[in-house]
Structure 1
Amino acid sequence: PKFPTKRQAKRKKHFDEQNDQNEEQQSVVESFRVNYFLVMIDVAIASLTSRFEQLKAFENVFGFLFTSKNLKSLDDTDLWQCCTNFVETFSHNNSSDVELNDFFSELKVLQATLPDALKSAPEILEFITAADCYPNVLVAYRILLTVPVTVASAERSFSKLKLLKNYLRSTMSQERLNGLAMCCIEKNVLENIDLDTVINDFASRNARRSIFFM
């Protein structure tokens, strides 16, 4: 880009200052590089460093649950260390959502029974839910898939909330607000739902509704 050159203002000198003829004037390009470009680069580096540190801490806790390959590659010592780290992270007042010994035993069984075709965490969660015999592992995967890695999803939820509950809908109940927010946020899931089935189920709960909808 071409930067417009402005008139260089000369600084007024006091009587006791020496007249330096070799005083350098900062160019427009150099001024842009020092006062804007380098500042933005420093901010970007600091932000990325902070974000990757958070992701590294997240991986240290949940990394062994990310994929079936990560889970099956662990031996007994590494698996026990990962389980201990996970339980200590989510322990509150000497109590935890996951029991350490049972969690380790369930993961040992899961290593042998988990199909290789299931690679991602959501697929593993569906397999565990269908099997219904891994209660501690189920809790761990539910925590994994509900912890937001970034704040973008939470910010989108609040942005959508402002559009739903405006000043005209100030008397909306909490239950209806939660339902509308869920419909707007999970729009992709909503598009795959058969509305006729939902309407028939809603109408079947009340005789007057069924007459109205028929």
Structure 2
Amino acid sequence: MQIAKSIASKMNVEPTFPTKRCVTRKRHFDELNENDQNDEEVQAVEESFRVNYFLVMIDVAIGSLTKRFDELKSFGSMFGFLFNSKELKSLEDDALRKCCSNFANTFTHNNSSDVDSNDFFSELKVLQMILPNNLMSADEIFEFVRAADCYPNASIAYRILLTIPVTVASAERSFSKLKLLKNYLRSTMSQERLNGLAMCCIEKSMLDNINLDTVIDDFASKNARRSHFL
């Protein structure tokens, strides 16, 4: 209850509880006096708040945090060796092979795996030797692998890592953006146009770095009939 009162004081909320109107009646000699009775009523209200509201909110918060950390822990056990070059280079052969097998088994569907465990292990062993000594993040390693174009299994693994959302915040923002785009005034919008507008809004930071004149010229060159209008 001290935590609840301190939170209420920081929010400029009076930590008072509503109490019922006290009904005066004749008391016998062995009953409590009026002050003791009021104290018991206040304690009963505080106990009700503690049991029915405060403890329930604390349990929900602890359960949510525990679930989130368990999910992050499982995500780290699956993709942890791919997070950066330091993690990748620190693994011995046995540990690296175990991580590759776990990754391949996780993404096996209908007896078909997205990556081959042995080839994946061989590619990562080569990457351990040729990656620069400076610390590289997962997206930087992916750019290195994609530029080399000779590590197919590692490329697939890093694409899976970089496309799986750790939280649902990005998905919720996408739905919020779609709600702004697809309103009742745009009820006849096609799916292709909706996807394009949603992508432009979601990836606005990337769109700001694109030269629009180059895009317009490229679009005009693909359709000779419209070239003279642009």
Work out whether the TM-score is over 0.5: yes
User: Percent identity over the alignment?
Assistant: 70
| Equivalent residue number for residue 186 of structure 1 | 203
Give, in whole Å, the separation in 2 of the partners of 1:138 and 1:37.
49
Please identify, of 131-140 and 2-11, the stretch whose mean Cα deviation from structure 2 is larger: 2-11
Residue 57 of structure 2 is aligned with which of 40, 43, 49? 40
Q: Please state how far the C-alpha of 1:40 moved relative to its aligned partner.
A: 1.8
The AA in structure 2 aligned to 1:140 is A
Residue 166 of structure 1 is aligned with which of 178, 183, 190? 183
Give, in whole Å, the separation in 2 of the partners of 1:5 and 1:89.
53
| Equivalent residue number for residue 96 of structure 1 | 113
Q: Please state how far the C-alpha of 1:119 moved relative to its aligned partner.
A: 1.6
The AA in structure 1 aligned to 2:226 is R
SS at match of 2:200: helix
Residue 51 of structure 1 is aligned with which of 68, 80, 90? 68
Q: Does 1:68 align with 2:85?
A: yes
Q: Please state how far the C-alpha of 1:175 moved relative to its aligned partner.
A: 1.4
The structure-2 alpha-carbon separation of the partners of 1:10 and 1:89, relative to structure 1 and needing over 3 Å to count, comes to farther
Q: Does 1:6 align with 2:18?
A: yes
SS at match of 1:74: coil
CA deviation string 1:33-74 (max 9, x = no partner)? 444333222211110000000000101110000010000000
Show structure 2 runs of 5+ residues with no match.
1-8, 24-29
Give, in whole Å, the separation in 2 of the partners of 1:120 and 1:85.
22
CA deviation string 1:112-141 (max 9, x = no partner)? 011123521000000000000100000000
The AA in structure 2 aligned to 1:25 is E
Q: Please state how far the C-alpha of 1:29 moved relative to its aligned partner.
A: 5.2
Residue 124 of structure 2 is aligned with which of 100, 103, 107? 107
The structure-2 alpha-carbon separation of the partners of 1:35 and 1:196, relative to structure 1 and needing over 3 Å to count, comes to same
| Equivalent residue number for residue 218 of structure 2 | 201
Please identify, of 137-146 and 204-213, the stretch whose mean Cα deviation from structure 2 is larger: 204-213
Give, in whole Å, the separation in 1 of the partners of 2:152 and 2:17.
70
TM-score of the superposed pair, with normalisation by structure 2: 0.83
Q: Is the 8 A contact 2:19 2:41 kept in 1?
A: no
| Equivalent residue number for residue 85 of structure 1 | 102
The structure-2 alpha-carbon separation of the partners of 1:175 and 1:46, relative to structure 1 and needing over 3 Å to count, comes to same
The structure-2 alpha-carbon separation of the partners of 1:146 and 1:20, relative to structure 1 and needing over 3 Å to count, comes to farther
Q: Does 1:148 align with 2:160?
A: no
The AA in structure 2 aligned to 1:154 is A
Please identify, of 146-155 and 20-29, the stretch whose mean Cα deviation from structure 2 is larger: 20-29
Q: Is the 8 A contact 1:65 1:141 kept in 2?
A: yes
Q: In angstroms, what is the RMSD of aligned CA positions?
A: 2.1
| Equivalent residue number for residue 116 of structure 1 | 133
Give, in whole Å, the separation in 1 of the partners of 2:219 and 2:168.
35
SS at match of 2:157: helix
CA deviation string 1:165-206 (max 9, x = no partner)? 112222222211111111000111001101111111111112
TM-score of the superposed pair, with normalisation by structure 1: 0.88
Please identify runs of 4+ aligned residues in structure 1 that moved more than 6 A.
none
* Aligned length, in residue pairs: 206
Give, in whole Å, the separation in 2 of the partners of 1:191 and 1:197.
13
CA deviation string 1:54-97 (max 9, x = no partner)? 00010111000001000000000000000000000000111101
Show structure 1 runs of 5+ residues with no match.
12-18
